[in-house]
Amino acid sequence: MASKNQTLGEFIIENQSSFKYTSGELSRLINSIRLAAKVVNHEVNKAGLVDIIGAAGDTNIQGEDQQKLDVYANEKFIQTLTNRNIVCGIASEEEDDFITINSQDENHQNKYIVLIDPLDGSSNIDVNVSVGTIFSIYRRITPVGTPVQLKDFLQKGNQQVAAGYIVYGTSTMLVYTTGDGVNGFTLNPAIGSYYLSHPNMQFPKDGTIYSVNEGNYIHFPQGIKNYIKYCQEEEGNRPYTSRYIGSLVSDFHRNMIKGGIYMYPKSSKNSNGKLRLLYECNPMAFLAEQANGKASDGFTRILDIEPTELHQRAPFICGSKNMVNKAEEFMLAAK
Ligand code: AHM
Ligand code: MG
């Protein structure tokens, strides 16, 4: 039984048997993400000291080159997942191609692949605004013991076995699902452990927050323009509140707790929007559905989209079910 003073480590062990493929491998995988996240968190927290300890591109006191935080986070996650030998492949928003692990070793039996956006919203770092890490886990479809192939990574989102994010905010939280609801853990930095602080997270069915970069309004499809006007009309619980951090993880996290909708639609400038289907939309869509919310590209369920390339983009509308349904109605009406 989940209790609020439970650590993430205890929670993983206790819930391992409720996962449909009980090999312990997935638990070990989530454990390594938790570990890498702690290291990245430590670095992100120091970002404000950049004038004192040196900016990216400088050399620090040990003679090491200072890295940009997104490059650092990318390396940390890849290193941790590779060194612990628990995955057979990794794809990252920061890498052009996927990484094959242990392709030389015929004995390696690893079944899982990870897709990761190591530091999402990184333009917010310099101004001390929350950023996040997003991860998505699948079972490979090619035979165990052979090198992974592109098709292992191009699975539909509905095949995910786990997904989650870390939000480096006023506190650091790890929120994840293995297909059995969504649980949130808060890092106690004094002890270095994550504690279950938000068991069984749920999107309220309705909400009063809309999150969209309205600066792009002129470029949006008519359906989105109409929906934004609807959000701003005076009627019932409207006008809604506008809140846009520009960090997907933080906007999503707030909307899941308070009730709201996040939109990154296509525009006349970007025909598929900005967000990446595999690293951003799919994991957030899986979390949303597991938390009783909804995610759509305006017409189609995100998790049913057939990926064709690693860095593919998709329009993304995600949040409280009734709000996403309403936005879809507007999209359909203006089609
Ligand atoms: P990134 O992967 O380059 O950080 O871009 C993703 C981020 C999201 O976190 C955020 O919601 C969005 O880009 C903001 O984009 P914009 O500045 O165009 O509104
Ligand atoms: Mg990103």
Across residues 186-211, what is the average pLDDT? 96
- Tell me: the pLDDT tens digits for 81-114? 988 778 999 999 999 999 999 755 666 788 999 9
Nearest atom in ligand 1 to 123's CA: 4
Please compute Rg for the chain using Cα positions: 20
Q: At what angle do helices 25-45 and 8-15 cross, to 10 degrees?
A: 160
CA 82 to centroid of ligand 1, rounded, Å = 27
Residue 298's pLDDT is 98
Across residues 3-20, what is the average pLDDT? 78
Q: Residue of the nearest CA to atom 14 in ligand 1?
A: 246
Mutational test site, ligand 1, from 44, 74, 120, max ligand atoms within 8 Å of CB? 120
**Phi, psi at 9, each rounded to 5°:** -55, -45
334 burial type by CB count under 10 A (0-12 exposed, 13-18 middle, 19+ buried): middle
Residue 69's pLDDT is 87
CA 248 to centroid of ligand 1, rounded, Å = 7
Q: Residue of the nearest CA to atom 18 in ligand 1?
A: 213
CA–CA dist 73, 287 (Å, integer): 22
The chain-wide mean pLDDT, for the chain, equals: 90
Per DSSP, which regions of the chain are E strands?
89-92, 99-100, 112-120, 131-139, 162-168, 172-177, 182-188, 193-198, 209-211, 241-242, 260-264, 293-296, 316-320
pLDDT at 52 over 60: no
Q: Residue of the nearest CA to atom 11 in ligand 1?
A: 248
Mutational test site, ligand 1, from 264, 284, 313, max ligand atoms within 8 Å of CB? 264
Q: Residue of the nearest CA to atom 15 in ligand 1?
A: 246
- Tell me: the pLDDT tens digits for 275-311? 999 999 999 999 999 999 999 999 999 999 999 999 9
Nearest atom in ligand 1 to 93's CA: 2
Residue 86's pLDDT is 84
Mutational test site, ligand 1, from 68, 252, 274, 313, max ligand atoms within 8 Å of CB? 274
CA–CA dist 232, 241 (Å, integer): 8
3-state secondary structure string across 134-202: EEEEEECCCCCCCCCCHHHHCCCHHHCCEEEEEEECCCEEEEEECCCCEEEEEEECCCCEEEEEECCCC
CA–CA dist 321, 327 (Å, integer): 10
Nearest atom in ligand 1 to 213's CA: 19
Nearest atom in ligand 1 to 279's CA: 2
By DSSP bridging, strand 209-211 and strand 260-264 are parallel
CA–CA dist 46, 53 (Å, integer): 9
Higher pLDDT, 188 or 56: 188
What would the two tokens of residue 239 be?
């006008």
Across residues 16-40, what is the average pLDDT? 81
- Tell me: the pLDDT tens digits for 112-157? 999 999 999 988 887 889 999 999 999 999 998 889 999 999 999 9
Residues counted in the chain = 335
175 burial type by CB count under 10 A (0-12 exposed, 13-18 middle, 19+ buried): buried
Q: Which ligand is nearest to the CA of 115?
A: 2
Across residues 157-165, what is the average pLDDT? 97
Q: In the chain, pLDDT over 90 holds for what percent of residues?
A: 72
Residues 6+ apart with CB under 8 A from 220: 228, 265, 267
**Phi, psi at 312, each rounded to 5°:** -55, 145
Strand-pairing partners, residue 139, are 112
First-to-last alpha carbon distance for the chain, in angstroms, is: 48
CA 141 to centroid of ligand 1, rounded, Å = 31
Residue 54's pLDDT is 52
CB-CB neighbours of 155 under 10 Å:
20
pLDDT at 195 over 90: yes
Residue 105's pLDDT is 61
Residues 6+ apart with CB under 8 A from 287: 163, 164, 165, 175, 176, 177, 182, 252, 256
CA–CA dist 82, 38 (Å, integer): 17
Residue 186's pLDDT is 96
Q: Which residues line ligand 1 (CB under 6 A)?
A: 117, 120-122, 213, 246-248, 274
Q: Residue of the nearest CA to atom 4 in ligand 1?
A: 121
Residue 328's pLDDT is 98
- Tell me: the pLDDT tens digits for 58-83? 555 555 555 688 888 999 999 999 88
For the ranges 15-29, 55-69, 259-273, the maximum mean pLDDT occurs at 259-273
